[in-house]
Amino acid sequence: MNPIEAITQNLSKLTKKEQAIAEYILSDPIRPVQLSAEEIVTKVGTSKAAFIRFCQKIGYNGYSEFRFAMSRYVVSNVPDDNADDAIKSIIDRYINFIAMIPSMVKLEDVKEVATMILCAKRVKILGFNRTALSARQLRLRMSKLGIDAELIDDQVQMRDVAAYLTKDDLCVIFSIKSDNSFYGGHVRQMAQNKVPILLITMTPNNKLVDDVKKMVTLPFISRASSATFLDDQAIFFVFIELILNELAKGCDIN
């Protein structure tokens, strides 16, 4: 069930304040993607607590999960006026998802990520299978700025790294679904050792979130798109360029 269906099917269960939120969103479904929860409740004239209750009543844990579902729904339902033009159709879909990044990641988030990297004694970047490509890209792009980092894409190495990193280091993890069964043990051990962990993912509700210092959630193009062959690495690559832009400022490159 998509979020619009979830809203319409649960309208009778909502209070008047919650129904006001529902009507505001139904009148223009792009609003939860473009606006924060605070902006929406201000425009509707209700409270953030009411908004959270609204999200829960229609089947979501909270605003973040609802907003993510709305993002997927809006982008996957963009009308295709050029069905015969496969090139334009695919490019337009990537453009739409890339354009969603500013609604999910603020400049302050990117600055914080850059600061974490620049202040770390050692930086280890973890990725596995597909996300190893993104981890490698970040390491290569950082090396252009003279910032040293190590790519870890092997389970044995990950276990070793989790054992010896300290609070002065930084572990960056690229994980589309933030699979607890794969990274969970490593993350828990690093959390116990007070190692700062930066999780770059596309799944906001995951079992790793409580043990990481910073989580960045990006648009999930392969799940949201009906064209399932579209690849999530392109989204990671764009975010990497945002990080590099801030790192370059921090390195005071002339």
Q: Residue 228: inside a domain, yes or no?
A: yes
Q: Residue 96: inside a domain, yes or no?
A: no
Q: Residue 88: inside a domain, yes or no?
A: no
Per-residue model confidence as pLDDT tens for the chain (254 residues):
789 889 988 888 899 899 999 988 888 888 887 788 888 999 999 999 999 999 999 999 888 889 888 887 877 665 555 555 767 777 888 888 898 898 889 999 999 999 999 999 999 999 988 899 999 999 999 999 999 999 999 989 999 999 999 999 999 999 988 777 788 899 999 999 999 999 999 888 788 988 999 999 998 887 654 444 678 899 999 999 999 999 998 776 44
Both 66 and 146 in one domain: the answer is no
Q: Residue 86: inside a domain, yes or no?
A: no
What pLDDT, on the 0 to 100 scale, is given for residue 135? 96
Cα 17 to Cα 208: distance, rounded to the nearest angstrom: 34
Q: How many CB atoms lie within 10 A of CB 82?
A: 11
Cα 212 to Cα 10: distance, rounded to the nearest angstrom: 35
For residues 31 and 44, is the Cβ–Cβ distance under 8 A?
Answer: no
What is Dmax (Cα atoms) for the chain?
A: 61
Please state the domain count of the chain: 2
What pLDDT, on the 0 to 100 scale, is given for residue 82? 52
What pLDDT, on the 0 to 100 scale, is given for residue 230? 75
CATH number at residue 15: 1.10.10.10
DSSP output for 177-235: S--HHHHHHHHHHHHHTT--EEEEES-SS-TTGGG-SEEEE---HHHH-SSTT--THHH
CATH number at residue 217: 3.40.50.10490
For residues 254 and 135, is the Cβ–Cβ distance under 8 A?
Answer: no
Both 63 and 122 in one domain: the answer is no
What pLDDT, on the 0 to 100 scale, is given for residue 223? 66
Strands 150-152 and 197-201: unpaired
Q: Residue 128: inside a domain, yes or no?
A: yes
Q: Residue 187: inside a domain, yes or no?
A: yes
Both 234 and 109 in one domain: the answer is yes
Please name the helix (run of DSSP H) or strand (run of DSSP E) that holds residue 17, with its range, or none.
Answer: helix 16-27
Q: How many CB atoms lie within 10 A of CB 211?
A: 19
Both 170 and 131 in one domain: the answer is yes
Both 37 and 116 in one domain: the answer is no
Q: How many CB atoms lie within 10 A of CB 124?
A: 24
Both 59 and 173 in one domain: the answer is no
Which residues in the chain belong to E strands, given as ranges?
123-126, 150-152, 170-175, 197-201, 214-217
Both 39 and 131 in one domain: the answer is no
Q: Residue 23: inside a domain, yes or no?
A: yes
For residues 232 and 99, is the Cβ–Cβ distance under 8 A?
Answer: no
Both 61 and 111 in one domain: the answer is no
- Residue 56: which domain range? 3-77
